[in-house]
Amino acid sequence: MALKLTDDQSMELAMQEALLGAGFVSPNPMVGCVILNSQGELLSKGHHGIYGGPHAEANAIQGLKPEQLKSARVFVTLEPCAHEGKTPSCAKALAKLPLAEVIYGLLDPNPLVSGAGIKILQSAGIKTTHFAKRQDDLEEVCEHFLMNFRAQKPFVSIKVASSLDGQLALKTGESQWITGEASREKAHELRAIHDITVVGKNTVLTDDPQLNIRHPRFPGKENKILILDSSAECLKRPDLRIFKTHRPENIFVAVASDISSPLAKTLRVGTQPKGQLNLKELLARLWQSSVRSVFVEGGAQVVSSFISQQEAHRLYLFQAPIILGANSGKAWSEGVNIENMSEKIQLKTPKVQQLDSDLLITGRLFN
């Protein structure tokens, strides 16, 4: 017996489909598509699987005959593309089919699309409907892409692993392991779905991490690394594991003066009055280097800098059911100064996920 779906269930399934493209489609958006036949039964589903490959709509209609699609209804998380790029226009492909309706979650902010896909469908006599519900969830699915086009800047996520009382390490520097294995695996997944991972020089010099991707969904995937090191101290240490793990073209070092090194690409960035690197300028340099999403995994100083300079868009807080104590611990927000309650930083659209004994709390920060 065929599965009948409501409109809400269909868009939920389309969002689930979209997320299957995480880590494989950047700089394109994650998009999911679900098709119901004229009786409201699930006919097919698809997602954008890899950059340069077929889009969600093309994957969903693949193998279906026109008679199966007669009076069918298509649910897609993002407006079907109107332009011809690495792949044909999805809107034009759908316009050739005997569809009754296309229900879309969000308008595409890309000026090459932005309503043009809808017009193509309407000109073909296909009804188009904006799915007005679940807008926060739909935006979250492709928030990197939306930020890129709306603000012409990379999307910045911050990851913190802390105790219940907000400590990410002991004052001695010991921090392994606060959270459990499930949290660490999730963190590797997040590392894989962002274009570049950011850490500070202290993390590199003290912990000597590899900062590569170790997750079963992404075997062999290479990632880019950015080290915030205004004085270029880490470039004096070619023995560090990070330089042995990653190719030089995948390592960036943000510095405050002109310097070059065979170990990595250097980005000269201005500084703030207190000596911190100017993160707005840094993100602009990364944008010029085709970096579209940033995953900040640094210590307290790095995390606090991104928050204090309001250059963070999402927080991923992994919280372990332990207490380290403020006297013996190091708070991840130690560099953030709030003088009045009216200045408090509010997490928008927060969500909580259980990861074995840990909690993952996530939500939007600054727009």
Kindly list the catalytic residues. 57
Q: Look at residues 35, 41, 29, 40 and name the one whose alpha carbon lies nearest to residue 11.
A: 35
What is the spatial distance between Cα 192 and Cα 212, in angstroms, rounded to a whole number? Answer: 9
Tokens coding 115 = 């309503």
List residues bridging with 268 in a β-sheet.
255
What is the spatial distance between Cα 329 and Cα 244, in angstroms, rounded to a whole number? Answer: 31
CB under 8 Å to 141, separation ≥6 — which residues? Answer: 15, 18, 19, 29, 30, 32, 77
CB under 8 Å to 367, separation ≥6 — which residues? Answer: 313
Distance set, CA 261 to CA 50, 200, 255 (Å): 33, 18, 12
What is the spatial distance between Cα 57 and Cα 46, in angstroms, rounded to a whole number? Answer: 7
List residues bridging with 102 in a β-sheet.
74, 128
What is the spatial distance between Cα 232 and Cα 273, in angstroms, rounded to a whole number? Answer: 19
What is the residue whose two structure tokens read 């800098």?
305
Q: Look at residues 135, 34, 118 and name the one whose alpha carbon lies nearest to residue 81.
A: 118
Are 329 and 167 a contacting pair, CB within 8 Å? Answer: yes
DSSP conformation class of 261: B
